Amino acid sequence: MRYLVISDIHGASRALEQALSLEKTLGTDRILLLGDLLYHGPRNDLPSPYAPKEVAASLNERKERILAVRGNCDAEVDQMVLEFPIMKVFDTLRLEDGRKIILTHGHHNEYQMGLCGGCAVLSGHTHIATAECDEEGVYRCNPGSISMPKGTLPASMGLLDEEGFSVLDLMGKELLSVKFKR
């Protein structure tokens, strides 16, 4: 199974459509959303175009394939317009090979308990893309932001499968990657 990983949309409809346009090309089966979906947040400028209703409609069309967690800019009112759950602070899934994947926005640390070598933590929040393995053997991956990237890389998203995690720009070009050890 292949997962398209998107974080920090912040209501940017054009960026979301660009990311989602690569679903077939990348051969993704599911979409993992790491929070901050509709609202731009009080510390951010409005992305262009800012169209949270369009973002909600586009995501709702794919609701059966989405697994999402709550970001610090997501609220109960956002859940009212989205047709899939977004209110969990973190969630987990298992890859076909049994590898544990922890999904979080990254603004809470509850998920840190029970981390073990070989598991992967996918988080957003910082808007800075990363794909690395720490000294304990925990993979720490951030797809960056499709709407408001920070750091040196452009707007980006992630691709997750049994092989590893890659950060891609919105044209599908690989920017960073980490391969999982067997």
Question: What value does the mean pLDDT take over residues 37-58?
Answer: 92
d(CA 29, CA 177): 20
CATH number at residue 60: 3.60.21.10
pLDDT tens readout for residues 134-174: 999 999 999 999 999 999 999 999 999 999 999 999 999 99
Range of the domain at 124: 3-179
Give me the number of domains the chain comprises.
1
The answer, yes or no, to whether residue 84 has pLDDT greater than 70, is yes
d(CA 38, CA 109): 23
Q: Quick one: 77 exposed, middle or buried, by C-beta within 10 A (0-12, 13-18, 19+)?
A: exposed
